[in-house]
Structure formats: structure tokens, C-alpha cells
Amino acid sequence: MNKKKLIICCLLLFYVSVESKSLDPYKVLGVEKDASQRQIQKAFHKLSLQYHPDKNKNKGAQEKFAEINNAYEILSDEEKRKNYDMYGDARGSPGFDSGSSGNHGGHTFFRRGGGPGGQSGFGFSPDDWQTTGGQSGGSKSYSFSFGGNSGGNSFGFDMGDIFSNFFGGNFGGSQSRGDSGRSSHPGFGGSPKKSLVSVNSGVYRKEVVEKGFTWLLLSYTPSMKGLQHYESTIEEVASSLKGALEVGSLNCEAESSLCKELGIRLRNTPRVYVYSYKAGDTGSLLEYTGDVTVKELKSFAQDHLPKFSKRVTLAQFEANSGKLGSLPKVMLLSTKKDTPVIWRALSGLYRKRFIFYDTQVKDVSDPSVKKLGVDQLPAVIGWLSNGEKQILKTGIHVKDMKSAIRDLSSLLDGFEKKNKKIASSQSTKSQADLNKESVPLLTAKNFDAICGEQTPVCIVGVFKSSKGKEKLHTILSSVSQKSLVRRQNLASGPRDSVSYAILDGSKQSSFLNAFDKSGFKLSDTFLIAYKTRKSKFSAFTGDITSEEVENFIGSVLNGDVQFSKTRQKPTMK
């Protein structure tokens, strides 16, 4: 009996498939012959929801559903549509076949795809490597028939349900669905597919907030209608921006506390949010309120990709290139008028590790480009923190956005590693220079050389413990180097306008008594600014920190500190 049912069912399905192919696809979808792909897509979605087998159990609706999918298969494919318009057949000859060549078993099946094999069709070249690929608006084709892999279900719905509706009971041992019979098909309730990351409080903080990546988040409860339509749209957007965008789903029934914390209050339908770094270094969660279509949502997502790269001209960059910093710089040169999607995504991922720039140039014949040593575009140039320039990559050519971001990330990681090595070497060298120019201990033998009448101001750091000695030596060594650099940059003024020394106050009380009757007994560390020729001084007994010491010495050099007469001429033991 089961075998008989199977034969009858197959004959019926074959009849439906062949009969649907004999119909005018324009009439099936209710569109004009000059309809745009967007109009065809909208008509298809509307009718497929209306006649979906999960919503309509009668035979007529199921046949209509097959007709709708076959009509869309033809009209969504420009080649098939052209053949139909010319010959009345999507294959290019009069009459319809039961399926298009190249598919499983001679038939097509309900699928998504932007190109052969259902691929999204990314293709990058030096001129368009920053575009997002895919079809216009990110739309992809859908088709449906009753062919497929033997032994597997390549249909857009459960085969067991169809046979059950035709004959009653289950077919082939298909299991009934749980979750109160909710469907997992487009337009109806269910749970998002695994391609959307399930977001909880831990994932939200570690992956969404901290990484610097733009996320699309679908918030929902499992009982909501239209959930799969939202999820399908988000998936297509993510596919077209693969590598530059992450997508996740937030079940507000299971994660109610997180939804409440984020201010997400669901009504009757799911809601879409973007976690964006568009406004600044700290990301923010913004709700998408537009139409839930691939084109509109994709445009919204692209607009909210990170914007940490500074758009400049080469002339503007050269004017500021002399300013060194602790972070290395990277610049993208391309012929594009806007910052590429890939570069924006990288600027978010590496926002705390590099300073990003990008510029538009005409071509490699541009004198400014030649000056940089670039022979192919697009190109990435880097500047180490010591100002050294390196050409990181020219003639960038990648097959898709995800691989481009992966390859360029590897490039940036290597450049950052080199910069850290150079920075470490510079730090070691600076420390060695600092030690070489260390602040001397003031004694009777070197007093005249350091604080004699030839020195306008002598800065003496006084300590009374070994800990205080180490602290003063470190701070004054650093401040003295900064002061020396500032004096070297001045157009006038002697380099020896100020000298530095440290003094053991526990052994040189007679020296201190010349300035203060008590000998500054209450202070373990303090500073004395001494003008030998004028026998004047000023003391600082506050907190000895690099900032406070530098402020005090700066005030002394600027004449903003009041000096007092010494009690007597200081003497050294």
C-alpha cells in the first residue's frame, strides 16, 4: 500500500511540475514583462508566503506554490528570462523542460544563490576590490521543483508533511515537529538558523562590544510571526558583507535580563539592531527602523561600519607626517572616492593599535604616488613609530572580502610586531642615554662646576633616604632630558641655563641651613632652585611626581616662581 501511495504521489508531483512550467511566469507572479528584478522579488515573496504549504494544506495551494517558485526561477535569472522572452522556453527552445540542466537529477530545487552553484559571486580586482559583491541590492534567486538528491531532502519544506497532507498519516517515518507545530520556514515562527550567533550576556560583552566589529543583531521571541523572513534577510546581508560584518540573534525570552539591560522591548515582531562604531571609539546599539529588505538593511549596515580611518589628501598627510607617536601609521592609496568597506572594517578591528589613513589618487603616474615609491594600486604604506616608511603591499588583488580582511590583518600584525621590536630597541637606547647623562650627586668637589656662578639656575633634588634618592634620580633624569630638548629647540638662550643635581640631605645639613632655618627637617624629598649669582632660592616641598617636578621647573624657567634671599652662602662638607 505504501508503495502504491508513493507511485501516485510521484505522478502527481511530476504532473504539477510539468503543468506549472507550461504557464506564463509573468502571469503566475502577476507582473508586467518589463518588471524590474525588485518588483519580481517582491511579488514572489508575497505570493510564496500566501501559498506556502505550511499555511495552506489544500492541494490547489500546494500546486500554486510550485508554480510560483518555477516562475520565479525563470524570471530571477536574466539568461532564462531572456530565453523565455525570445523562445517561450527558459532553456532557449520552444516548450518547457521539467528542470534546468546542471542541477540535481535534471531539476532545480528551492535554494538561494547569486550565481552558479548558489554562490554569492564575490569577485575583486584592483579597481573594485572594496565593493561588496553579490547582485544588485544583495538579492538572490530562489527556485523550486520536485527533483533533488536521492535519499536527501532538498525541498524548501518537510517532504513528510506534503505526503501526509496528500494521503493522511506520516510518510517514510518522518518525525513530527515539536515546539507546538511552529514552522521553521520563511514568514513563520521558529528559531533562527545556526548561521546567526546566539548572543547572551557573555558573547555580547566579549564579542560584540570589545572587538571593534559591526554587528547586526536580531532580537526576538520564538513565538513571533515573520521571524524567518527577518533571519533570511539578515543572512543575505551578512553574506554580501562577509568578513566586514557579524550577525547574531538575541532570544529575549531566554535572555530577558540582557534585553532589559539593552533597552530592547519587543512588541509583535522581531527587531533589528546594529552595534556601530560610526560615532566614536565606543560602540553604540542602534535600532533599524526601515523596511526589512536586503537592499535597505545592507545600506544601513554599510553606513554603520567603523569610520576610524582619516580621509586625507597626500598633501595634508605630508604636512603632518613629521609628528611621531607611539602607534604606527598605515595608509591606503586607491582610486576610489570613498573609504573602502574592507579598510573601514580593519580600522575598527585595529583601532587601538594603528592610526589609519586613506586617500584617493588618480593613478600611479601621480608625482605624489611616485614619490612614495608605489608602482601599483591599491597600495598600503606603513610608517613605524620612529618615522621609517615601508611599502606593505601594492596591487592588492583578492577573491573576496573575507579573505581580503584575513590577508591584510596578517600584514598589519607583522608590521605591528616589527614596530614593537623597534620601539623596544629605542626604549633600551633611550634608557642607556639617560643613564649616561644621569643627574650627578652634588659634592664639595663638583659644586662650582654644577652650581657655580656661571649657572643661572641650579635645580637640586634633596633626599634623606635611599628610596628618596632613587625616586629623585629617575624623575630628574627624565625631566632634565626634556628640558634639554626644549632648550635646543629655542632660537636663543644658552643650553646651560639650568643644571641638575641630587644632594644627600642627611649628610649636608649645613648646606640646607643656608636656605631654611630648620633644614627642611619634615621633608624626605624636596627640590631647591638656587640662583648662585643672586643668592636667591625657591623650594618645592610638595608631592614629588614627574608632573609636579616638571611643572615646578617650568615655572622657575618662566619666571613664575617667587625667589627668596638665602640666609647665608651654602657650604658643602
Q: Determine phi and psi for 395, rounding to 5 degrees.
A: 60, 45
Three-state DSSP state, 485: helix
CA geometry: angle at 199 spanning 195 and 205, to 5°? 130
Mind listing the domains of the chain with CATH numbers? 21-86 (1.10.287.110), 197-304 (3.40.30.10), 310-429 (3.40.30.10), 446-565 (3.40.30.10)
Cα dist. 538→516, 529, 561 in Å? 11, 5, 7
Amino acid at 287: E
Residue 136 grid cell: 544588485
DSSP per residue over 317-374, as a string? Answer: HHHHTT---SS-EEEEEES-SS--HHHHHHHHHTTTT-EEEEEE-S-TTSHHHHHHT-
The tally of CA atoms less than 13 A away on the side-chain side of residue 19 is 12
Compute the distance between CA of residue 481 and CA of residue 176 in angstroms, rounded to an integer. Answer: 80
Residues 6+ apart with CB under 8 A from 293: 137, 233
Q: pLDDT higher for 560 or 85? A: 560
| Range scoring the smallest mean pLDDT among 105-109, 192-196, 533-537 | 105-109
Q: Over 50: is that where the pLDDT of 415 sits?
A: yes
The most confident of 147-161, 262-276, 319-333, 472-486, by mean pLDDT: 262-276
**Spatial contact of 568 and 514, defined as CB atoms under 8 Å apart:** yes
H or E element that contains 475: helix 466-489
pLDDT per residue over 47-85, tens digit each? 888 888 777 777 777 788 888 888 888 998 888 888 787
**Spatial contact of 346 and 413, defined as CB atoms under 8 Å apart:** no
The most confident of 105-119, 495-509, 553-567, by mean pLDDT: 553-567
Q: Over 50: is that where the pLDDT of 535 sits?
A: yes
Chain mean position to CA 195: 19
Strand (E) positions, 114-212? 141-143, 197-198
**What's the chain's average pLDDT?**
74
pLDDT per residue over 471-507, tens digit each? 999 899 888 876 544 443 333 443 447 899 999 988 9
H or E element that contains 250: strand 245-251
**Spatial contact of 536 and 512, defined as CB atoms under 8 Å apart:** no
Residue 529: name the closest of 547, 508, 507, 554 by CA.
554
How many CB atoms within 10 Å of residue 211? 15
213: alpha, beta or left? (left if phi > 0; alpha if psi -120 to 50): beta
Q: Answer positive or negative: Cα dihedral of 180, 181, 183, 188.
A: negative
Average pLDDT over residues 10-26: 59
Q: Is the pTM of this model over 0.75?
A: no
H or E element that contains 498: strand 498-504
Q: pLDDT higher for 137 or 168? A: 137
